[in-house]
Amino acid sequence: MLAPPNGREMIMTVVAGRTLTAPEVVPGTALPEERIEVSPTFVVSTAIATRDFQDVHHDRDLAVAKGSEDIFLNILTTTGLVQRYVTDWAGPEALVRGVSVKLGVPCYAHDTLTLFGQVLEQVEESSENRLVLEVLGRCGRGEHVRGTVRLVLPEVES
């Protein structure tokens, strides 16, 4: 079997986990920490998968010439990872209503991105019961991203 391309345990089969229900989650609940080895392949494949062809995301020589240390993750990927980190925890039928990210230091190739998260509060928005989660992504040079995700969980198990 081929090694996963990005160092993360990838389970791409149909075995989907159960979706958490609203009564199971309370403010303060922590999400499991996740470490992502940010290989050059990971930076390049995610940039191309988000249709971002800026050279700083795939050409190290040009990235260095422009003052970066290496190629680095693009914003669409950071946003996507924040969303995916939360739905991996919440389950396949959790509904994502918003992802906000505040960007910090760049996440360069060969770094490790560690994601942390917790449920901050429950709010009533657009006649829905939503969870507001905070997600932090730290890499070697400091905080790469501070994100907020708004999520709707099923009220009862389907």
Partner 1 sequence: MTSTASSATAAKDTGPARDNESVHAAAERISAAGESRPRPGRDPVNLPMIHNWAEALGDGNPVYTNAEYAETSVHGGLVAPPAMAQVWTMGGLHPEPAPDDPMRAMTAALDEAGYTSVVATNCEQTYHRYLRHGEHVAVTTKLEEVTGPKRTGLGEGWFLTLRYTWYVDTEAVAEMMFRLLKFRPADGDEPARPTPEPAGDNTADESDPRTGSPILPAINRDTAYFWEGTAAGELRIQRCGRCGLLRHPPGPMCSECGATKPTHLVACGHGQVYSYVVHHRPPVPGKELPLVIALVELDEGVRVLGELHGIDPDEVHIGLDVEVFFRQVDEQVTLPCWRPRTEGK
Catalog residues that contact partner 1 under the rule CB under 8 A.
Answer: 4-6, 8, 10-14, 16, 36, 42, 45-46, 48-53, 75-77, 79-84, 87-88, 92-93, 95-106, 141-143, 154, 158
Cβ contact 1:31 at 8 Å: no
Residue 44: closest CA among 18, 16, 63, 22:
63
Token digits for 143? 């905080």
Token digits for 124? 């009533």
- Would you say 12 or 28 has its CB closer to partner 1? 12
**Residue 62: helix, strand or coil by DSSP?**
helix
Closest distance of CB 88 from partner 1, Å: 8
- Would you say 49 or 65 has its CB closer to partner 1? 49
Q: How far does Cα 112 stand from its chain's mean position?
A: 13
- Would you say 54 or 118 has its CB closer to partner 1? 54
Closest distance of CB 110 from partner 1, Å: 17
Q: What is the separation, in whole angstroms, between the first and last Cα of the chain? A: 35
- Would you say 31 or 83 has its CB closer to partner 1? 83
Q: How far does Cα 8 stand from its chain's mean position?
A: 13
Closest distance of CB 29 from partner 1, Å: 20
| Nearest-angstrom CA–CA distance, 119 and 134 | 6
Closest distance of CB 146 from partner 1, Å: 10
Neighbours of 58 (CB within 10 A): 19
Closest distance of CB 90 from partner 1, Å: 10
- Would you say 55 or 122 has its CB closer to partner 1? 55
